[in-house]
Structure 1
Amino acid sequence: MQTDELKKKYILQKILGYGQYGTVYRGVNLRTKETVAIKELRHSNADQGINVQALREIEILKSVKCEQIVALKDLACGQNKTYLIMEYMEEDLLTALRRDTFSEQQVKLIMFQVLQGLAYLHKQGIVHRDIKPNNILYRNLEIKICDLGMAQNLNKQKPQTTRIQNHSYRAPEVFLGQKYCSKVDVWSAGVLFIQLLFKSNPFKGPSEVASFNQILKFCGTPVEENWLGVTSLKNYSTLITEDPKERTLHTLLEKKMPPLLVNLIDSMLILDPSQRITAQQALLHPYFHGMNIERCLNKIQASRKKIKTESQTQTEVFNYPNGNKIIVVSQISQKSKNCF
């Protein structure tokens, strides 16, 4: 689809967010009235067409079909721009986290879905490489993993870059320069688990070195006894200059978590990736025993129907960024409470 066709099929309503490579809009399909997210990716002349990151994201989104991964609905290409039309959710997990305090049971449901999405990607040989709250879409405890521009298919045997993951969610093997695998996503998910429960990221720091030092503080210093071959990694002598520290992660976690959850997160945040559990193993952990995602989400849907809603007619003006087209839309908006 060309961009001219895009403008006939969709209306861009408002900007949802900005990224390094483009802008995300909320839009509406004029025929079906479905609300969608439209990601506008810009390309420089040096790209000679669609840039590598955009191509990678399109290729991966077209190849996956999973309830926990955002779905690609349409695609439009034009001069220096590509548009990805995807399913829409109201906000990301970072926005929800800033507003709400989640109970342990709510976090359990959210993280089970995150791990389901990761287990699916990893089974396809795909590593997301940028799991963080603002790359997880959220609606009433349902989630969709999004923003796969950093993702890589390990089956293609391409060179690995170490410039992956926000440093507050970055796995220790990436810091130290070891060849990595899908378990970098498990590390990020373990950090996210803690953040949802404590409303803070224990590894957050103003710089990469500061974040790595936080890993040493809570997870201990990697040495040959707990990570065979670690001292020979290329960044080891640069990043580890002080006496070894003991692992104190349990002390942090036990303040707010039951023993099974402490054990699960501890297993997700093991320094040596060869000993760290996989996403699939995390789903099978005793902490999640008896977890039925469909039953939980059906309960959410049923709860929504019982909640009284307040409706009102609302008129807004929507237009394309270049100002070429303005349309006034009247719609019904509803206010409802969280189901829990």
Structure 2
Amino acid sequence: MTSTSNPLVRDLNYFVLSAANPAAIHLLSEIQSKSSPPTLHSGEETIGYRISIPSHNSRQDEACYKWRVGAGPSPAIAKMGDIFVPEILLCPQDTSQTPSSKTVRAYIKHIHAVLFLHPQSGALVLRSRSNKPIIYEQGDIHDQDVEICGGPDSKVKSCVLRRRKNYLQFGPYRFLLEFTVSHQDRGRFSKTIDRSLHHRHHKLFSFIPSTDIETLWNVWLHRKVPNSSSLQTGVHIYTGQPVAVKTLHNKIRGRRYMIDQIKLASRYRDKADNGILGILDVWCEHWTSPPCLLKPSSAVIQCRTTYFSMPLAEQNFLHKRWRKLDTNTHLKYLYQTLCGLAELHGQGIVHGNIQPGSLLIYEQRAYVSLCMQRPDAYDPSICAAPEVWLDKYRELDETKLDIWALAISWLFTCLRPPADLMITRHSYKHLQTTLKSRRDKGRVSEPLFDLLQEMLAWDPCNRPSAIEALNHKAWLPVLPRIARKARGSRTRRLIQAVERREQRAKEL
């Protein structure tokens, strides 16, 4: 492909797609002699396409990281005006149909597949554009061959090329896609790609596969999440989506709770507008899905570990750089987490462990992340409401504990209270004073301050329910924008209730 970079700056070698059997060697040799693509090079023993990427400092468009693969336009199509030739050409461009080109086109279409960098993870993905299968050798979750096909009934339409050497079969033609970034260029290559992605996860991914890759079920594992012993980053091997993989330790005690939470989170896999971050897949150490945990209890004794994957959030409420956000975006994120809590409480479910780290931001939306293992006891924490410590024998309203915890977690967006602080009368008074100071300085709007005061009421009876909190006037600045994106959803119905109430107030 053509680079627009400074000619004095060397482009970075990325990968080579070379012939790996006699049929492919003959095919590429014929293409070179008749069509002479500029990136097709041959030596004494190999012939293949050498792909590079621009190395200059300006932000690259996604089109710079996309390569079409195919036979190119047939003579008949070319006569009709479609003369687009893919960057990786796999058929000679004859002016008329020949027996050789006819044979190739029986297996390889005009645009047969696309190689591209996934915009979130930076992984190189092969996506089929044809109903003719491509075989990726040892590409599936059990290191067996996977068939990639773009047909409507195909289960696998794309796959991440996660090995240093990847063998691909297009009918009788076998190719080797090998990553060729040198050891010296790895750092510069990673910086170039990281700078160009729209959703950067900083240093959580390795853009070039190593020789000792580790796969866990359908996830190509990358690195452990900082400050977490049970969370790893990875890439879904079929889609390229960045994911987080969580490890759960199976125990007879608490098994029912884990099962219920996993089943609940699975229901929100494709429901972005409910405010709950769903899980994508769940499996166990025996590489079975559903995992042993969901089978009769006797199976748990023989299975110690359950894993699940979920979308990898860019930030959480503890680490997000809130000062860079405009006021309405900030408010929108708070509102979306309240919608998530209302969704849970509406089903008679309490969260039980809301913290700033469990409120996640993914794809410019905020979510509540479920807790899969119930804490055995309350730890000293500002997220624990005061009634937890006042009377150990008092029956607690757990929905009001969630309301307190959510409001406290919101405070981390504008101030940093000590996370391990136990709420007493004295610390509660100091919290109220600090919050008023933020209001007076304009860091917290008056309506939001009023709502926080209600949600952080000392007496749980004075705290609103999640639905009542959704009806507060604090959300009016962002409701029209949210409404446009939430038609037909639970959120939309709640918004309509607020709008009707406001309209009645005006009429009175």
TM over 0.5, shorter chain? yes
Aligned to 2:399: 182
2:221 pairs with 12, 18, 34, which one? 12
Q: What aligned pairs does 1:94-243 form with structure 2 within 5 A after superposition? A: 94-97=318-321, 100-139=323-362, 141-149=364-372, 163-164=377-378, 167-177=381-391, 178=394, 179-197=396-414, 199-201=415-417, 204=418, 206-208=420-422, 213-218=426-431
2:264 pairs with 49, 60, 70, which one? 60
How far 1:8 sits from its partner (Å)?
5.3
Secondary structure (helix, strand or coil) at the match of 1:196 reads: coil
Considering fraction of residues, name the structure with more helix: 1
| Alignment partners' CA distance in 1, 2:276 and 2:380 | 20
| Alignment partners' CA distance in 2, 1:81 and 1:212 | 42
| Alignment partners' CA distance in 2, 1:132 and 1:273 | 18
Code of the residue aligned with 1:171 in structure 2: it is A
Aligned to 2:315: 91
| Alignment partners' CA distance in 1, 2:305 and 2:325 | 39
Indicate if the aligned counterparts of 2:276 and 2:370 stay in contact, CA closer than 8 A: no
Aligned to 2:234: 27
Indicate if the aligned counterparts of 2:254 and 2:373 stay in contact, CA closer than 8 A: no
| Alignment partners' CA distance in 2, 1:248 and 1:207 | 15
| Alignment partners' CA distance in 2, 1:41 and 1:255 | 44
Cα distance per residue 1:247-293 (max 9 Å; x no partner) = 88645533333332221111111111111111211111112126145
> Structure 1 residues 23 and 268 mapped into 2: Cα distance closer, same or farther (>3 Å)?
same
The percentage of counterpart residues that share the same residue type is 22
Aligned to 1:253: 439
Using structure 2 for the length normalisation, give the TM-score: 0.43
Code of the residue aligned with 1:70 in structure 2: it is L
Q: Which has the higher contact order (CA 8 A, sep 6+)?
A: 1
How far 1:50 sits from its partner (Å)?
8.1
How far 1:145 sits from its partner (Å)?
1.4
> Structure 1 residues 7 and 167 mapped into 2: Cα distance closer, same or farther (>3 Å)?
closer
Secondary structure (helix, strand or coil) at the match of 1:148 reads: coil
After superposition, the CA RMSD in angstroms is: 3.4
Unaligned 5+ runs, structure 2: 1-140, 144-214, 286-302, 487-508
> Structure 1 residues 218 and 13 mapped into 2: Cα distance closer, same or farther (>3 Å)?
closer
Code of the residue aligned with 1:11 in structure 2: it is W
Aligned to 2:500: none
> Structure 1 residues 150 and 39 mapped into 2: Cα distance closer, same or farther (>3 Å)?
closer
Code of the residue aligned with 1:194 in structure 2: it is L
Q: What aligned pairs does 1:314-329 form with structure 2 within 5 A after superposition? A: none
Indicate if the aligned counterparts of 2:282 and 2:307 stay in contact, CA closer than 8 A: yes
| Alignment partners' CA distance in 2, 1:279 and 1:50 | 27
| Alignment partners' CA distance in 2, 1:108 and 1:264 | 12
| Alignment partners' CA distance in 2, 1:124 and 1:91 | 27
Which of the pair has more CA radius of gyration? 2
Q: What aligned pairs does 1:38-49 form with structure 2 within 5 A after superposition? A: 38-43=245-250, 47=251
| Alignment partners' CA distance in 1, 2:474 and 2:262 | 35
Indicate if the aligned counterparts of 1:49 and 1:80 stay in contact, CA closer than 8 A: no
| Alignment partners' CA distance in 2, 1:7 and 1:248 | 46
Cα distance per residue 1:37-76 (max 9 Å; x no partner) = 2112234xxx359856643531432355652211111111
